[in-house]
Amino acid sequence: MNLLLKGVTIADPNSKFNQQKCDLHVEQGKIVAIGKGLVAKAALEIDGSGMVLSPGFFDLNCAIGDPGFETKEDITTGTAAAMAGGFTGLAVLPHTKPVVHSKAEVAYIVNKAKNNLVDVHPVGAISQELEGKELAELYDMKQAGAVAFSDGTKPISDDGFMSRALQYAKGFNALLMVYPENKSIAGKSQINESKNSVLLGMKGLPALAEEMHISRDIFLATYHDAPVHISNISTGGSVALIKKAKKDGVKITCDVAAHQLVFTEELLSDFDSNYKVKPPLRGKADTKALLSGLKDGTIDAVSSQHRPHEIEFKDVEFEIAAYGIIALQTVLPLLLKAGLDAGQIAEKLSINPRRLLGLSVPVIEEGAEANFTLYHPAEEWLYNADNNCSKSGNSPLLNKKLTGKVRLVYNNKQIQSYG
């Protein structure tokens, strides 16, 4: 579809039009002109006053239940939620049924997601059945289309196995994305270990469990001179460890879930299971450290950590509720609430995630393929059952007013607008 955007502010550090207010004309999927006073015939014209145009958002850490857990989320509903949240690309985790641990499952996802506005990229499992014992078919999966490898929400506890996985992946430039938790210390924890966990009478997960695991992976990445990506860090100590490792030349990267930049453990006082996530919500000092690490470059990217669940897994007592929230549609409002500006959002949510995975980074320039997100940073909207595109409803933000509205996404010569 041909499109003419009028008076949008471009937020793309890689574009010569960055931070400029411009018109933008798209024909047959390509940006044909950027400038002032553009006119186009037979094009959908949108007044973009007050709106920001960013390269399409990309999520590094998204769970979609297909195959096997389609009652939680399938590719159709997952990509619908992604579009509504401004995402034109997703890296989907392998904890499905069957687990994505061979080229057959990778090919299934690649084929099922074809011809979608949202680019869906499978992340293969590091270990067979996510058991952390035997390596999965990493090389074959990469040849079939896997962009990285992860055991999803399961930490790799065996040090020797992680060492061998890093060594093997290095041989064909594969990236391992690992969840940081020392299981022997974490135990059956429910929330962050603090005065709050004592007050609420629940077993706490100490920051130590995350930080020890990250320390191990820093040692292994150093030993093998191999890259490792730490998914969803949550503590100030983790930020400090990764900052030092980067300064020392270790090939380490990391991301943080958007909700960790805004939500804190005080929200758990009512035992609302929709706030039950893993890693758990931490204290205000951790949130402050995470924001600082994001802005100084220690934290490379923001992820949604989208975790859909059926109602019977969340509408239960806190202690037995499943971990996770649906998040694809609420990442942008949370980042705006956390104080990120348009340039930082483009860097952490569009550019860096793709760079980490070695994918082509969209740029807002004349002659480039159109892949972008248009949003209004000050528009208020009510997030409710009517506009929730996910198959699940486990979000503490449902029925609340949010600020920051996605108005349009464009990718693969397809457009989706949101009045």
Distance CA 225, CA 227 (A): 7
Beta strands in 104-169 (DSSP E): 119-124, 148-149
Same domain assignment for residues 23 and 83: no
Residue 22 confidence (pLDDT) above 90: yes
pLDDT tens digits, one per residue of 208-238: 999 999 999 999 999 999 999 999 999 999 9
pLDDT tens digits, one per residue of 288-338: 999 999 999 999 999 999 999 999 999 999 999 999 999 999 999 999 999
Same domain assignment for residues 166 and 268: yes
Residue 58 confidence (pLDDT) above 80: yes
Per-residue pLDDT, averaged over 361-375, amounts to 98
Residue 364 confidence (pLDDT) above 90: yes
Q: Is the CB of residue 193 less than 8 Å from the CB of residue 205?
A: yes
Q: Does residue 356 sit in helix, strand or coil?
A: helix
DSSP state for residue 322 in the 8-state scheme: P
pLDDT tens digits, one per residue of 256-286: 999 999 999 999 999 999 999 999 999 999 9
Peptide bond into 67 cis (omega under 30): yes
Confidence of residue 419 (pLDDT cuts 50, 70, 90): confident
Q: Is the CB of residue 51 less than 8 Å from the CB of residue 298?
A: no
Residue 1 confidence (pLDDT) above 80: no
Same domain assignment for residues 257 and 274: yes
Same domain assignment for residues 392 and 302: no
Number of domains in the chain: 2
Looking up residue 88, the CATH number of its domain turns out to be: 3.20.20.140
Same domain assignment for residues 383 and 285: no
Confidence of residue 165 (pLDDT cuts 50, 70, 90): very high
pLDDT at 366: 98
Q: Between β-strands 30-35 and 301-303, what pairing exists: parallel, antiparallel or unpaired? A: unpaired
Domain residues for the domain of 408 are 3-53+366-417
Stated as kind and residue range, the H or E segment containing 257 is strand 252-257
Radius of gyration of the chain (CA): 21
Same domain assignment for residues 206 and 91: yes
Same domain assignment for residues 46 and 144: no
Looking up residue 396, the CATH number of its domain turns out to be: 2.30.40.10
Q: What is the pTM of this model?
A: 0.97
Q: Does residue 52 sit in helix, strand or coil?
A: strand
Distance CA 154, CA 314 (A): 20
Same domain assignment for residues 37 and 158: no
Residue 42 confidence (pLDDT) above 90: no
Percent of the chain residues topping a pLDDT of 70: 100
pLDDT at 143: 98
Concatenating the DSSP letter of every residue in 61-87 gives EE---TTT-TTT--HHHHHHHHHHTTE
DSSP state for residue 223 in the 8-state scheme: H
Same domain assignment for residues 49 and 60: no
Stated as kind and residue range, the H or E segment containing 21 is strand 21-27
User: In the numeric block, which tokens belong to residue 309?
Assistant: 């669940």
Cα 259-263-266 angle, rounded to 5 deg: 155
Same domain assignment for residues 23 and 98: no
pLDDT at 30: 97
Same domain assignment for residues 231 and 285: yes
Same domain assignment for residues 166 and 79: yes
pLDDT at 158: 97
pLDDT tens digits, one per residue of 108-137: 999 999 999 999 999 999 999 999 999 999
Of 227, 240, 325, 317, nearest to 275 (Cα)?
Answer: 325
